[in-house]
Amino acid sequence: MSTVALMWEARAADGRGNELLEWARAQVLAREPVRREVFRAPQDRVLVITWWEAAEGTAADLPELPEPAADLITRAVHRWRFESVEAG
């Protein structure tokens, strides 16, 4: 079993940063992650990180946040998956 972090990042359309932040907070996943954090950054960017326990590592079938409505964002959502490794 390993810990997998899913990162979801989007940039809001001009003046809609708070709306994108609230949209991201309101999303319900098919199941609850071990942990979930929501961040904001300059240029109305929103980042959501969810942590999961998964036997298949980054290949695991895990629920992800969807794409918001096209008029709420300036570009497609960026997504990354990371697997925890032992510190050396």
pTM of the model: 0.93
Query: At residue 87, does pLDDT exceed 80?
Result: no
pLDDT at 30: 96
pLDDT at 86: 74
Q: Rounded CA gap, 38 and 63, in Å?
A: 16
Q: What's the pLDDT tens digit per position in 6-59?
A: 999 999 999 999 999 999 999 999 999 999 999 999 999 999 999 999 999 999
Pairing relationship of beta strands 35-41 and 45-54 according to DSSP bridges: antiparallel
Which residues on neighbouring strands pair with residue 5, listed in sequence order?
51, 82
User: What is the set of domains in the chain, with CATH numbers?
Assistant: 2-56+67-83 (3.30.70)
Q: Which of 17, 4, 24, 8 is CA-nearest to residue 68?
A: 24
